[in-house]
Amino acid sequence: MTTINFKEIGARLKAAFRLSTRPLAVYGSELLPAGIPRMTEVNRCFAVSLHRMAMGDEVSAIYVSADTSEGCCPGGLYHVGYIPVPDEIRYFVSTGRKDVRGGAAEYLKASPELFDGCTKAVGPIRPPGTYLVVQACEALPDPEPAIRSLCCFGTGEQIRNMGALVHFDRDDPFSPVIAPWGSACSTYITFPAGLAENTPHDTAFMGPQEPTLNYSLPPDMMALGIPAEMAARMVENLDASFVIRRSNVAFPRYERRLDR
């Protein structure tokens, strides 16, 4: 594992991929983070909260825990391991049921049983500590906590290029970058941070695959959830890769695109 710190890793990724957003770091803590607001002070939804943090600089970190979960999205609390999967979710994300939220449904799965199958495939989800913290890399404390993963928001071009760099030192053409089904917070936090027992190892997660988030996420924006060691390796590979050596191909000028 490289000795480079994640404040620098975030800065290198932001510069190399020309991100206008702030890379975010995910970690666990056993102590209440001083000066960090609860997630619900930003939004009840993990995905919306992370996007707002990445886009602006008013809030640099948020935390959540089992004891400070009031007002949080129950689905999000399940996806980070603080509560069991709520039974009503299996109906809400599929076909609905009259006695669950008045029959409201998202129609993301053809049946509740398919949702159950996905939940079983993911396996048990365990939080990284008493508190889960998401913090902008640039604001990480010194000494740094044990970072579990990073989440980067960007345009399609930027995220495509990040995915290509993940593949740079791998001989497997299929599994290094995947687009998993599930909540946006799973793509941003659960899977890259390794909170779910059956999460594929050494894999980046591109998405989100959650249409219900489209109301708050710009149509031209995507995200990549990156395990910590992979993010460090990406930075180590930058100088030898297309990102630096063929930057005009990775980020062609707008004028050149018009000529195609």
| Predicted local confidence at residue 200, as pLDDT | 97
Give the HSE-up count for residue 188: Cα atoms under 13 Å, Cβ half-sphere.
Answer: 29
Question: For the chain, how many structural domains are there in total?
Answer: 1
Distance CA 187, CA 225 (A): 6
Cβ–Cβ under 8 Å, residues 153 and 217: no
- pTM for the full model? 0.94
- Residue 162 maps to a domain: yes
Give the HSE-up count for residue 190: Cα atoms under 13 Å, Cβ half-sphere.
Answer: 30
- Residue 220 maps to a domain: yes
- Residue 115 maps to a domain: no
- Residue 77 maps to a domain: no
CB atoms within 10 A of CB 60: 19
The residue segments making up the domain with residue 202 are 6-63+133-255
DSSP secondary structure string for all residues of 164-205: HHHHTT-S-SSSSEE--SS-HHIIIIITTTT-BTTPPTT-EE
First CA to last CA across the chain, in angstroms? 42
| Predicted local confidence at residue 3, as pLDDT | 62
Distance CA 150, CA 136 (A): 9
- Residue 75 maps to a domain: no
Distance CA 189, CA 47 (A): 9
| Predicted local confidence at residue 255, as pLDDT | 41
Return the DSSP state at 67: G
| Of the candidates 12, 5, 15, 11, the residue with the CA atom closest to the CA atom of residue 237 | 12
Q: What is the pLDDT along the chain (260 residues), one digit of tens a residue?
A: 446 799 999 999 999 999 999 999 999 999 988 899 999 999 999 999 999 999 998 999 999 999 988 999 999 999 999 999 999 999 999 999 988 888 899 999 999 999 999 999 999 999 999 999 999 999 999 999 999 999 999 999 999 999 999 999 999 999 999 999 999 999 999 999 999 999 999 999 999 999 999 998 999 999 999 999 999 999 999 999 999 999 999 999 744 554 55
- Residue 96 maps to a domain: no
| Predicted local confidence at residue 239, as pLDDT | 97
Q: Which two tokens stand for residue 97?
A: 């049921």
